[in-house]
Amino acid sequence: MRAYATSLGAYALLILLTLGALPATAALPQQVDGQTLPTLAPMLERVTPAVVNIATSGKVRIRQNPLLQDPFFRRFFDVPEQPRERRTQSLGSGVVIDAEQGHIVTNHHVIREAEEIVVTLRDGRELQAELVGSDPETDLAVIRVDATGLTQVSVGRSRDLQVGDFVVAIGNPFGLGQTVTSGIVSALGRTGLGIEGYEDFIQTDASINPGNSGGALVDLRGQLVGINTAIISPAGGNVGIGFAIPVHMMRTVVAQLVEHGEVRRGRLGVAIQDLTPGLAQAFELDTRDGVVVTEVAPGSAAAEAGLEAGDIIIAVNGDPVSDAAALRNRIGLLRIGDRVRLRYLRDGERREVSTELREASVPSSEVPGLPPQLQGASFAEVEVRLSNGRQALRVGVENVEPGSAAARAGLRPGDVILSVNRRPVNNLQEFRTAVREAAQLLFHLRRGEGALFMLVR
């Protein structure tokens, strides 16, 4: 099948040259010289009933200018009352992964803030769906429909994919209805795009457009290998660079969403950075793969395991980690209470330790409504000593992913946020409320022994 597919265009041209131009009503024959022409139709006949269209509607709060909330200002300038909410609509796709339970996997951004979710099957049935759970960090969600006669997709192994493998994308681009496009795997393990908190994308040149989100990426056997989620599109349409969440990540997240309605991630408790060539030379290492531990949180799983700043983590549960994103993905997909084996280097000596992951702090991108400028940073409540000598609770920056929006804004691990827009924030709840309601953020930070103001737009 694979060899035939690569030469389909040349084969069709050869037929036209040898047989002459075909009449407008003619079609290619099923066989040429006794050999069957390649087609994906039988595979798609099995798979496409498992891919559904999703339409959602809901309401979101409109951010208001504080001046417009002042009754005197509105009356003086004759400003009409401003609406506080607006209706939203979204179109996307989904994949039936459990026909018996009616479970459908899609993207979180497809059903985000939805009050009503309507699923349309390929046979035309329209069904009301309910949300089982969603995870903004991986942009995955599970919804459920109550229906019989559903078809579920066969889930494959994304770890077996290779660059150059043929894949097929199925979804609902631009609301046109179910559409199939084909291409190849262009790259694997794409990270650092700032699209999601945990990134390990399959890149493909199969056409993916708005509305394909949540749809299926399948191999030529019809097995699901990814969930289509994003594109790079300078002009708003497909330019041959699309991304799908691999099914090995989907399996882990979906299992927790079905069981808990959320993902309960374990926490290792380290701040990390990539092992650059310069750092490798400074540490007198002959390897360029690994992650440098820059800080260990007191009382964390890492502290219990004996990790120290300067250690180089090179493998998690036997799987090598080449950079900080890889380590974040490995740990971020494990649950609270899972044991993890870490292989690391200390002073050039190879060591191994096992520890149990603990409950994670709240990453900013897991909280709906937080501005995109803070994506990639995690925050935790910390005790600080004020200028009067008293101990007080504030919000600290626990970790900042290299290259993330929060890093570009200037946030650093260890920063303590004293106030947001000149309003003190004493805990995570006050912090989340303050940053959600503001059009721009003026942080008053304590950094080391000094303090500064930082404006984040």
Write out the catalytic residue numbers. Answer: 109, 139, 213
Task: Give 259-325 as a 3 state SS string.
Answer: HHCCCCEEECCEEEEECCHHHHHHCCCCCCCCEEEEEECCCCHHHHHCCCCCCEEEEECCEECCCHH
CA-CA distance, 270 to 332, in Å (whole number)? 13
Residue with tokens 């080391």: 448
Residue with tokens 């890492």: 302
